[in-house]
């Protein structure tokens, strides 16, 4: 409620009217299955209670769409852009790759495939998901933005939640230039109270809700204060290394490799390739066992 109130207050302060629609999506923590999603493996995340991104807004008569964020971001907290159409599509920009609005623009572009059915609108964003904290602030923004657009354009609402998650992932790939797996967008889209989500990341990915009601168990999430930026970190390099290892073993992905196959190719792999592949192969097994 506090984040929603913050978004509504920011919208009224910026645009002078009340928002008419709104949407939210949660941050997440991954219980088990690290660096497995982009290797076609398994992951087991759950949504964070009370950590959400909220997008509120309304249609407008302005010439351009206007969006403002309450988050403490580098640079301008307000951005304007023309509504996308086939003749004037929203396109990725290297300059905007690491700006907060690149995630927002990517979703707007993919929501209607630049067909021109999205009206001009104003929007305000507020979030309680720590930025760069490894809790998927980007996916929560993407899914909240997509759901906001569904509220704004109900005729374009998606019934397939997997399609929605994949479109949000595509937005991050193309507009933020981050080669992320699908875990974050899936849990932000499909999260259900009292459940974790076992995701099979092989295309087409699928998710299975798993009840998590054990009164004797508590999930403790701590803040290491280490900042994450997938686009400029080791993440893309890790993904490339894993793909190279799978190719050397002549498999589509590390998900298809066994510990025995890995060991038989040890001499052909660099030390880094071997260690990262070993982690993914064992982690896939641990996740399904769990």
**Amino acid 232: pLDDT:** 57
pLDDT tens-digit profile of 70-83? 998 878 899 999 99
What does 130-158 look like in DSSP terms, one character per residue? Answer: PTTSSS-HHHHHHHHHHHHHHHH-GGG--
Calculate the alpha carbon distances from 245 to 76, 147, 203, 249 in Å.
41, 38, 19, 6
Residues marked active site are found at: 184
List alpha helices for the chain, DSSP H.
2-15, 100-111, 137-152, 161-175, 183-190, 235-248, 259-264, 271-289
CA angle 86, 89, 90 (to 5 degrees): 155
Q: How far apart are CA 181 and CA 160, in angstroms?
A: 19
Least Cα distance to 15 among 54, 55, 53, 60 occurs for 60
pTM of the entire structure? 0.90
SS (H, E, C) 165-186: HHHHHHHHHHHCCCCCCCHHHH
**Amino acid 8: pLDDT:** 97
pLDDT tens-digit profile of 113-154? 888 899 999 999 999 998 877 888 999 999 999 999 999 999
Mean pLDDT per 10-residue section of the chain, whose length is 290 residues: 94 97 95 93 93 95 95 87 91 79 94 90 95 86 97 92 95 92 95 94 92 86 73 79 97 97 97 97 91
**Amino acid 1: pLDDT:** 76
**Amino acid 15: pLDDT:** 97
Distance of alpha carbon 226 from the chain centroid = 19
**Amino acid 229: pLDDT:** 64
């Amino acid at each position: 409620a506090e984040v929603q109130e913050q978004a509504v207050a920011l919208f009224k302060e910026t645009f002078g009217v009340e928002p008419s629609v709104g949407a939210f999506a949660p941050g997440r923590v991954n219980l088990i299955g690290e660096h497995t999603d982009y290797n076609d493996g398994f992951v087991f995340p759950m949504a964070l209670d009370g950590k959400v991104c909220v997008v509120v807004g309304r249609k407008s008569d302005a010439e351009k769409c206007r969006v403002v964020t309450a988050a403490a971001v580098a640079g301008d907290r307000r951005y304007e852009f023309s509504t996308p159409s086939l003749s004037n599509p929203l396109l990725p920009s290297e300059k905007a790759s690491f700006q907060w609005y690149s995630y927002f623009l990517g979703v707007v572009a993919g929501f209607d495939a630049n067909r021109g059915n999205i009206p001009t609108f104003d929007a305000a964003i507020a979030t309680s998901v720590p930025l760069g904290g490894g809790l998927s602030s980007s996916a929560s923004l993407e899914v909240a933005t997509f759901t906001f657009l569904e509220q704004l354009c109900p005729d374009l609402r998606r019934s397939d939640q997997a399609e929605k998650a994949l479109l949000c992932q595509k937005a991050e790939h193309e507009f933020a230039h981050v080669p992320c797996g699908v875990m974050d967008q899936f849990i932000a889209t499909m999260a259900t109270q009292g459940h974790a989500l076992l995701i099979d990341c092989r295309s087409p990915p699928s998710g299975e809700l798993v009840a998590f009601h054990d009164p004797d168990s508590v999930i403790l999430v701590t803040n290491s204060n280490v900042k994450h930026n997938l686009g400029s970190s080791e993440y893309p390099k890790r993904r490339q290394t894993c793909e190279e290892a799978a190719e050397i073993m002549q498999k589509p992905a590390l998900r298809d490799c066994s510990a025995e196959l890995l060991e038989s190719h040890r001499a052909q792999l660099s030390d880094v390739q071997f260690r990262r592949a070993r982690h993914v192969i064992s982690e896939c097994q641990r996740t399904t066992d769990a």
